Chain A
Amino acid sequence: MPRVLIVDDEEHIRTLYKLELEDDGYEVFTEYSGLDLSAKVARTSPDVVVLDIKMVDGSGLDALQELRDKYYDLPVILCSAYGSFKEDIKSFAADYYVVKSSDLTELKKRIGEALESHIPNS
């Protein structure tokens, strides 16, 4: 069962994503903060991380930068209410960027694509 870590400071978003993704067969973990994200990833060993950008205690983009140093190939999907962060070069380090919506079709599609991506050894 693929494991998804949701990082979002809004409780209702975490609850919505958890319920919907569990219905789709994912094992879901939630965190309310992106601080010390590497440790949270080490603890939960997710196959994909869904990361909010604008959180009360810091930026998801900065958390992503820190995460990439340790988890080079871990799929990360940025999920934000704001489309404008897509133009920030830091967002290039994410697998996908999804604008938040109560309809999770796009997010679920991107999670599936991120899990499918594969580069073999040479």
Chain B
Amino acid sequence: MFDWIIENPDNVTEADIIVGIPSRNEADTIAFPTQQASLGLTRYFPDKKAVIVNCDNFSTDGTKEAFFSAPCQVPRIYLSTPEGVLGKGNNFRNLFRLICDLNAEAVVVVDADLESITPKWIKNLGEPIFGDYGYVTPIYLRHKYDGTITNNIAYPMSRALYGRRVRQPIGGDFGFSGELAKFYLEHDSWSEATAHFGIDIWMTTLAMYFRKPITQAFLGRPKIHRAKDPASSLGPMFREVVGTLFSLQSTLFDFWKDVHRSKPTAIFGFGLGESEEPPPVSVNTTALFSKLHDGYENFSDLWREAMTEETFSKLEEVLAADEKRFELPPVLWAHILFDMSVAYRDRLTNTDNLMESLAPLYFGRTLSFVKSTMEMGLGQAEEYIDEQCQCFEREKPYLLKRWG
């Protein structure tokens, strides 16, 4: 465990509610969520002792200064990993320690690059924690092509495995109890991927595993941040989210093997006025198709070894189609992900190589998703995603058989 760097100019020693803002070089954006968090805390939690914490990765662009100079009516603490210790998860680990030190009852975490956050986000993510809930995930309107890792991997897998329908398991904006922070700090499933972008799926999965009451806070406004074309920017996020998902799948087998179907999750927070349309996200479908075929060139031997004969044979059929006729159906996608999770458990190859080989298949599924939902509105696309999730639930016996 590394040491932290802490600046606590207001000498805060206890808090009822903490708003955490993880960052790494976010000097140009962090002032806005800090200001909104301050407004939310003073407006909706006036009787609570509150503090805003910037949990940073030793930023060198002036993030700390931007955080402290933002308009703010509540005390602030700056917390950082030491130089060279990177990762969003490491920022959270620092935050968990601080939550325990300050004995906070409720915690809200929001991304530092949020452009659409309002004070009510703080209310809706924090208020349920002072009620009966232990964990709050966001529900916001997102463009159907924003959040493709969520829509095609994190949501259907977490729902089929752990039985709880949490629509945005890696949304980045959460609420959780101080009690849960203690569980997080003590749980032994921490990994290198968790220390980075795997932290969100790790927290959501463990909240489901610990059977903490979960609610989904409706945030009204779309999440406006740096949305990216899935074909042009996958980065380490894919490897770390999926790596954490697969790693927890091995650790928590005794739990998920007995989960049948799924249960809904309560919704909190309405009356936010008219919902806004999310901004469009463009997708380069030709690039997705090309990356899938490049993947076949590079990884077909590994795919053949990782997948059952039937799954690989169906994949080859799919790959024979041109872009216009291409479709990678949900059942085949479920089998591919299930097979790859078994390959991860069996250490068929090293993690980086396995994730690199899965990425082109994810591009293929994303392309198929884009084609299938192209003419759909948000509501219809949501139904399509729900049907995909039900397909994962129906196919779970395939995974159980493969898991052995």
Contact = CB atoms under 8 A, between A and B. Distances in A.
Interface of A: 65, 68-69, 72-73, 75-76, 86-87, 89-90, 92-95, 113, 116-122
Nearest to A86: B383
B263 A73 contact: yes
B331 interface: no
A119 B163 contact: yes
A72 B81 CA distance: 38
A66 B402 CA distance: 41
Nearest to B262: A117
B182 interface: no
Contact of B218 (A73, A87, A89, A118): A89
B321 to A, nearest CB: 32
Interface string B133-166: 0000001000000000000000000000011110
A118 B264 contact: no
B164 A119 contact: yes
Given A65-B267, A92-B264, A118-B260, A86 B379 contact: yes
B261 interface: yes
Contact of B264 (A95, A113, A122): A95
A119 B264 contact: no
B261 A93 contact: no
B163 A118 contact: yes
Nearest to B140: A89
Interface of B: 131-132, 139, 162-165, 167, 209-211, 213, 216, 218, 255, 258-267, 270, 378-379, 382-383
A120 B265 CA distance: 16
A2 B266 CA distance: 24
Given A90-B270, A94-B264, A122 B209 contact: yes
Given A87-B379, A92-B139, A92-B165, A116 B260 contact: yes
Nearest to B252: A122
B167 A117 contact: no
B258 A120 contact: yes
B210 A122 contact: yes
Contacts of A72: 213, 266
B267 A90 contact: yes
3 shortest interchain CB distances as A-B pairs: A87-B379, A117-B261, A68-B266
B163 A92 contact: no
A75 B216 CA distance: 17
B167 to A, nearest CB: 7
Contacts of A76: 264
13 contacts: A65-B267, A69-B131, A72-B213, A72-B266, A92-B265, A93-B267, A116-B260, A117-B260, A117-B262, A117-B263, A118-B259, A120-B255, A121-B211
Given A68-B266, A86-B379, A87-B382, A116 B261 contact: yes
Contacts of A120: 255, 258-259
Nearest to B378: A87
Contact of A118 (B216, B258, B379): B258
Contacts of A75: 263
Contacts of A95: 263-264
